Chains A and B, each alone.
Chain A
Amino acid sequence: MNRLYVDSVMKAFDTKQVLTDVYLTCKPGEIVGLLGRNGSGKSTLLKIIFGSLKADQKYIKVDNTQVFKLYDSSKLITYLPQDNFLPGHVRIKTIISAYCNRENAGILNELNQLKPLLNQKARNLSSGEKRFVEILLIIHSDAKYILIDEPFNGVAPLYIDYIKQLIREQAVNKGFIITDHDYRNILDVASKIILLHDGGTREITDREELVRWGYVSGTVNG
């Protein structure tokens, strides 16, 4: 079956059990919004799915292939971490050609927002510009499943709606798992909401459930 399947993920840091029994799935065409309080293990979970962090226990399958470590999923899953990761000594156009196929590289090279940055080295970009480039790269990468950690953090409000639109467009053929503290943007873009609470996952079908689980206080607007 075509899907990213994550089950039985357990992870502890020293004596603190962060993830106890995580289960989630993501199909191509789905945008899964992953919500949770600070320290609930959202980033930890994404790193474990990506393969860059070792779990105490996990069962992850991409389509019909079980994934054990990073190398197994290199062409199937890409991951946008919270912090900037672009190598400062490389020009943006080179970075684009490394990450994207010819078609997607062409799309990015023609974007008005990116054109002034193409010949610049990543170190010369502001944090917001770097974040914007990183998001575009990850969204347009060849991977079938895309994990995005805090995509809207540090991005100019003008670009947030644009990024959400791009995610929706690319989600036709790809599965996305997105987490961000700006939960309104997640609620807006996601087709499925998962809440990480007490180390486990709970699918949220009604926005008021976020209040009941103590993720937000009062009435959820928007």
Chain B
Amino acid sequence: MRLILGIWLFYKKIFVPAMAVAVILTLLDLLLTRTLSLYITGFSFIMLAPVFHFILYEFSNPGQYYFYHNLGLNKISLWASTIVISFIIGIILFVI
């Protein structure tokens, strides 16, 4: 249970900025093409989440990894969670 909470706390920080940028890109696409495409949102989100993971953790706050290490989450599992969760959310947006 704590592992899930740890992954959620880790991912929450990535989710908001990645989704915000994905929505902005979708709105830009809407302005250009006059059609709303959640495919753009999903694809952007899948691409952006690992970028924000890198910026927010690897680049800006590498020390915060220790918070998650103490919960039993190493870097590999955190990167894997970012990619898997982003992919799932992206796929859901594709389907919609």
Contacts and interface: CB of A to CB of B under 8 A. Distances in A.
Interface stretch (B6-14, B25-33, B88-96): B6-14
A112 B13 CA distance: 29
A79 interface: yes
Contacts of B13: 87, 89
Tell me what chain B mostly uses at the interface: helix, strand, loop, or mixed.
Answer: helix
Interface in A137-193: 138, 141, 143
A66 interface: no
Interface string B75-86: 001000000000
Interface in A109-153: 138, 141, 143
A75 interface: yes
A94 B12 CA distance: 13
A85 interface: yes
Given A94-B9, A98-B2, A98-B5, A87 B70 contact: no
B72 A85 contact: no
Interface string A78-92: 110101111101100
Chain A binding surface, main DSSP class = loop
Contacts of A79: 66, 69-70
Contact of B71 (A81, A83, A86, A98): A98
B31 to A, nearest CB: 31
Interface residues of A, number: 26
A50 B66 CA distance: 10
Given A70-B74, A71-B74, A74-B71, A52 B9 contact: no
Interface of A: 50-52, 69-71, 74-75, 78-79, 81, 83-87, 89-90, 94-95, 97-99, 138, 141, 143
27 contacts: A51-B69, A52-B66, A52-B69, A69-B74, A70-B74, A71-B72, A74-B70, A74-B71, A74-B72, A74-B73, A79-B66, A79-B70, A81-B63, A83-B63, A85-B63, A86-B64, A87-B10, A87-B64, A89-B12, A89-B13, A90-B12, A94-B9, A97-B5, A98-B5, A98-B9, A99-B71, A138-B70
Interface of B: 2, 5-6, 9-10, 12-13, 63-67, 69-74, 77
